[in-house]
Structure 1
Amino acid sequence: MDVNIKHDKEYQQFTASMGEEDAELAYATPSEEVMDFTHTFVPESARGKGIANKLIEEGLCYAEENGKKVIATCPVVKKFIDRNSNYQKLLQE
């Protein structure tokens, strides 16, 4: 499934349009060099299609490209990082 993900810095989220509802990965910025991924949401009609993983990957790639460390408050993000060791280096110590 091809997904177009947009990053909205003002509202601190990555979104993918799913028709009536958007899928989203929300984050907070406790400091200028840290992104805390706090919440992942995918509409029920779009679940099971890898949308959350694409959102998370987009968020983590953005963090890496911008030299930011990551906090995985959202359990879905934590699970994704646990399964994808190449992103573990981004975790804040």
Structure 2
Amino acid sequence: MIFKHENSRIYYMDENGKVLAEILFPTEADGTANITHTFVDDSLRGQGVAGKLMEMAVEQIKSEQKTPKFTCSYAIKWAEKNYSNSNTL
């Protein structure tokens, strides 16, 4: 599965151009990147795709020297279990 990376967005499309997985993390004025949306199509659920999207997003956010902020319900749950810098929640 090859994910496409854009500014504030990582996603996966099928061969027909349908988005099957996506995470959005727009940058706010204070320099945080707010993870506002995660989506995984039913056809990919249970395969760890949402977690992989989170890992890639946090990695990209940190590489841009921004601070991740978790507001999407899935992102909050993921961060509570996986993100060591919990003061950004």
TM-score normalized by the length of structure 1: 0.79
Superimposed CA distance per residue, residues 45-85 of structure 1 (whole angstroms, 9 cap, x where no aligned partner): 1111100000110000111222111111101111111101x
* Equivalent pair of 2:11/2:19 in contact (CA under 8 Å): no
CA shift for structure 1 position 17: 2.5
Unmatched runs of 5 consecutive residues or more in structure 1: none
2:9 matches 1:13 = yes
Map 1:47-66 → 2, pairs under 5 A: 47-66=45-64
Aligned amino acid, residue 88 of structure 1:
S
Structure 1 partner of 2:74: 76
Amino acid at match of 1:92: T
Runs of 4+ in 1 over 6 A off after TM superposition: none
Greater alpha carbon shift after TM alignment, 71-80 vs 15-24: 15-24
Structure 2, unpaired ranges of 5+: none
- Equivalents in 2 of 1:18, 1:90: separation in Å? 34
Q: Distance in 2 between matches of 1:4 and 1:32?
A: 31
Task: Give the structure-2-normalised TM-score.
Answer: 0.82
Matched with 2:38 is 40
Identity %: 28
Name whichever structure is richer in strand by fraction. Answer: 1
- Count of matched residue pairs: 87
Distance 1:5 1:33, change over 3 A: same
